[in-house]
Structure 1
Amino acid sequence: MSAAPAPPAPFLIRALLLAGVWLIYLVFGLTAASLAPLVPPIAAELGVGNGAMGLILGAWPLTYIAAALPGGAMLDRIGARWGLLIAVAVMAASAFLRGVVDTPLQLALAVALFGVGGPLISVGAPKLIAQLYAGRARGTAMGIYVTGPYLGGILALSLTNSVFLPLAGGDWRGVMALHGGLILAAGLVWVVIATLPAARPLTGPAGKSGKFDPAAFRDVVRSREVQTILAVAIGIFAVNHALNNWLPTVLQARGLSAAAAGYWAAIPTAVGILGALTVPRFATPDRQVGIMAGLFVSMLCATLLLQLVPGPLLVAGLVLQGIARGTMMTVAIMLLMESRDVPKERLGLAGGLFFTTAEIGGVMGPAAFGLVSDLSGGFVVPLVLLSVLCALMLALVGQLARLRPRLAAAG
């Protein structure tokens, strides 16, 4: 997030570090989506309903909220080399522990552990890339590494029931152990890259970090524009996390097999990669609000089309979901960074505040979706509620469009 110029580092070292970050983000996405294709067998073995599973699926965003700001402060002190390695160790522990639980509470705690390491990646990756690249190269590098979690999600959704589960002898616990091994392998690659002599100066602490100033929060949060953007971020994460975690189960309820549902659920993720690499480049400051409105329209249509049986219209809904899913968070961050009320010296704080606030929706989305599906006996009502939420977010974006000119005039 820093605007400092990139250090004079050899192209190969920068490329290797970018590859290492991408690989860690890949296993991050794999782990985040690992339970979604396995909800039915896990729920059956542990004896829980959709409401309890929703709470379990939303456990890691809850700890993410608490860990984001301390994790960012720790990264400033220890640097990306150790910060990302710690994140890998925490993710691997979370994966392995999921495979040995006996109760729903133990599974929730194992999932929650993932949220402790998550912020180290979310903050550490852009922080390192900002040190390595400048100008257009920085945007290109960020566009590359952000494909990592999407590809990880594709692997989890499309291969869990068709490949990973058979490899694990049909036992979902073995799938968790397999994921843990993949995470450790990614960590080993990162250690090899980050400890190269030419890479060590680039992955250590970036100078002396300032003390945390609570008053800085007040300077940023009291802006009405920032408040509106953060409210939109909560809605984005609520919709995305709800659909990310429940989409395979919803598709199975529409008549697809577990394996087929995994492949269909991977469509939004695949489309999201293309969206993440293309749409943000058009989101110039004068277009950002309009593009965000269009993305919410896409997501609104997607939640309505998910009510249909498998067919062309349902595929269209999955494509629309992917376009919005792959771009909404990026455009929202750009809205925040372009705000007149966020000075350049507060961009890091604003980014941490964004993720901390947005993950409130990340917790509420899956939990509320599961609870409402239990109470209503299906997925019609929770999908309708997601449609209503998208409409409310459109209204907030409209308010933001009205607010920005007034703020510009006031400046």
Structure 2
Amino acid sequence: MRLTSSSDEARGTPSEQGRLSVRATEFRTIALLAGVYIIDYIDRVMIAVALPLIGAEFGLNRTEQGLIVSAFAIAYLVSQLPSGLLADRVGARPLLLISLVAWSVFTAATGLAPGLVVLLVLRVLFGIAQALFPPASFKAIAERTRRTARSRATGMLLASNFAGAGLGPLIVSPLVVAAGWRHTFWIVAVGGLIIGFALWKLLPAPLPREVAEPEEQQTADTSTVPLSHVLRNGLVVRCTLMFACFNMLSYGMMTWVPSYLVDAKGMSMVAAGVSAAIPQLITAVAVVIGGWLMSRWFDQKPQLLVVPAVTIAAVLLIPMLLAEATTTFTVLQSLAMFSAGLAIIGIVGLPMRVLPRDLVGSAMGLVNTGGQFAGVVAPLVMGWLADRFGFGSAFGFLAATTLTAALISLTTRVQHGQLGKSV
């Protein structure tokens, strides 16, 4: 047995206090950002739930309704990389607050839209405002967590995305029915402002660099690495392409399942909102499990988790489309989304684990650009396919893009700390 001197005990006590302080910083950061993401996705899902009423009021076909969703996604897409560069230069805290306040203002203004043109403009402004948040949130995670904790932390953030997408229909559908779609936008905007104030007051300071990224884990002087090396890094580029294909499934389900259940299955809006919420909430659980699996077993070989999980999700879309009963449809959709949820950390979380925090904002801005490309394409393509050929073709498009993500994953290799590797 090793004897401990009084001087060792003196050194050990601050060390234990330091570990507790680090864990408290990590926990508070993740909890606050997860709460904001829930509001974020309630805001996004709200437009999908309200689309049937908006379409009826403004006399819009499905393609035009898809354009409303895509207007947000286009602005969100082109703003991702500039937002990432901003996050790396000015830090996370200012961008987080600006984003929350701005998108809450534009959410409230949406409830005043007199027609399609103004609604499209507001959705573009809403997209720009929300685009500031993801790179800033990933930057906040990189500044306030240890490198070894980032896969799990990223998993919790992504899980909160799906939790928000699942809670959104449950909250918004009754509000839309009771208060109308315009008043619903105003109510949710107030919630965003309250959460923004809490984030500003409670977000902890960044961890010291030697704690977040110990010297032995830093393999490059990031101050001398050109941004072009990050943009050409093989892992970052492949994650960007994978997320573009993978996120077609998420955006497609989130945008069109409520309308499909109302139009094709004859469900009420509230019932459709509940049915659409269940798979999203199940996906949130799957993302947490996937983050744990990645950290424990698949950090070096993510394709061993990503490829089978994503392939199973794509295959399950076939019986889902053939389901006659709405309960069967929802069960199969939930299984497909659960399987896909297991894989998402193997796509989005890898740059967070590999890159130093000085470059996380830029890298994740690029990866999220790929993911939001899906937000532009999926609503429009699925709306066009549904108008021309029916919802079967629209959901078949999701199966094809999901399988493409699995194929890209087969070529993905993890090289920790090697920032200059090109494609």
Number of the residue aligned with 1:365: 378
Asked if 2 retains the 8 angstrom alpha-carbon contact of 1:267 and 1:322, the reply is no
Give, as a single letter, the amino acid of the residue that structure 1 aligns with 2:135.
V
SS in 1 for 2:171: helix
Asked if 2 retains the 8 angstrom alpha-carbon contact of 1:270 and 1:322, the reply is no
User: Is 1:236–2:246 an aligned residue pair?
Assistant: yes
Give, as a single letter, the amino acid of the residue that structure 2 aligns with 1:374.
D
SS in 2 for 1:100: coil
1:287 is displaced (CA, Å) by 4.2
Give, as a single letter, the amino acid of the residue that structure 2 aligns with 1:323.
F
C-alpha distance after superposition, 1:37-72 (max 9, x if no partner): 111111011111110111111222211222112212
List runs of 5+ in structure 2 lacking aligned partners: 1-17, 213-221
Name the % identity. Answer: 21
State the TM-score, normalizing by the size of structure 2: 0.80
Number of the residue aligned with 1:375: 388
Number of the residue aligned with 2:312: 298
User: Is 1:273–2:284 an aligned residue pair?
Assistant: yes
Number of the residue aligned with 1:101: 113
**Aligned-partner Cα distance in 2 for 1:218–1:286:** 21
**Aligned-partner Cα distance in 2 for 1:109–1:381:** 30
C-alpha distance after superposition, 1:210-263 (max 9, x if no partner): 69945335642xx4x655443322111222211111111112222322111111
User: Is 1:257–2:268 an aligned residue pair?
Assistant: yes
Asked if 1 retains the 8 angstrom alpha-carbon contact of 2:144 and 2:206, the reply is no
Give, as a single letter, the amino acid of the residue that structure 2 aligns with 1:293.
V
User: Is 1:43–2:55 an aligned residue pair?
Assistant: yes
Asked if 1 retains the 8 angstrom alpha-carbon contact of 2:84 and 2:364, the reply is no
1:264 is displaced (CA, Å) by 0.8
User: Is 1:356–2:369 an aligned residue pair?
Assistant: yes
1:190 is displaced (CA, Å) by 1.8
**Aligned-partner Cα distance in 1 for 2:152–2:338:** 19
The 5-angstrom pairing of residues 10-159 of structure 1 reads: 15-134=27-146, 137-159=149-171
Judged with a 3 Å threshold, the aligned counterparts in structure 2 of structure 1 residues 337 and 159 are, in CA distance, closer, same or farther, namely: closer
Asked if 2 retains the 8 angstrom alpha-carbon contact of 1:235 and 1:393, the reply is yes
User: Is 1:190–2:199 an aligned residue pair?
Assistant: yes
SS in 2 for 1:93: helix
**Aligned-partner Cα distance in 2 for 1:139–1:132:** 13
1:335 is displaced (CA, Å) by 5.0
1:381 is displaced (CA, Å) by 1.6
Give, as a single letter, the amino acid of the residue that structure 2 aligns with 1:234.
A
SS in 1 for 2:334: helix
Asked if 1 retains the 8 angstrom alpha-carbon contact of 2:155 and 2:290, the reply is no
Give, as a single letter, the amino acid of the residue that structure 2 aligns with 1:157.
P
Number of the residue aligned with 2:348: 333
Asked if 2 retains the 8 angstrom alpha-carbon contact of 1:52 and 1:371, the reply is no
**Aligned-partner Cα distance in 2 for 1:137–1:329:** 16
**Aligned-partner Cα distance in 2 for 1:142–1:388:** 27
SS in 2 for 1:255: coil
Judged with a 3 Å threshold, the aligned counterparts in structure 2 of structure 1 residues 309 and 256 are, in CA distance, closer, same or farther, namely: farther
Judged with a 3 Å threshold, the aligned counterparts in structure 2 of structure 1 residues 381 and 85 are, in CA distance, closer, same or farther, namely: same
C-alpha distance after superposition, 1:166-217 (max 9, x if no partner): 442xx111111111111111112223324xxxx45669xx9xx969945335
Alignment: residue pair count: 384
List runs of 5+ in structure 1 lacking aligned partners: 1-5
Asked if 2 retains the 8 angstrom alpha-carbon contact of 1:43 and 1:53, the reply is yes
Q: Alpha carbon RMSD of aligned pairs, Å?
A: 3.3
Judged with a 3 Å threshold, the aligned counterparts in structure 2 of structure 1 residues 9 and 366 are, in CA distance, closer, same or farther, namely: same
Judged with a 3 Å threshold, the aligned counterparts in structure 2 of structure 1 residues 347 and 75 are, in CA distance, closer, same or farther, namely: closer
1:118 is displaced (CA, Å) by 2.5
Judged with a 3 Å threshold, the aligned counterparts in structure 2 of structure 1 residues 404 and 87 are, in CA distance, closer, same or farther, namely: closer
C-alpha distance after superposition, 1:287-335 (max 9, x if no partner): 4113212222232134223322235532332222321443443211245
Higher Rg: 2
Asked if 2 retains the 8 angstrom alpha-carbon contact of 1:161 and 1:259, the reply is yes
Judged with a 3 Å threshold, the aligned counterparts in structure 2 of structure 1 residues 394 and 127 are, in CA distance, closer, same or farther, namely: closer
Asked if 1 retains the 8 angstrom alpha-carbon contact of 2:311 and 2:406, the reply is yes
Asked if 1 retains the 8 angstrom alpha-carbon contact of 2:163 and 2:281, the reply is yes
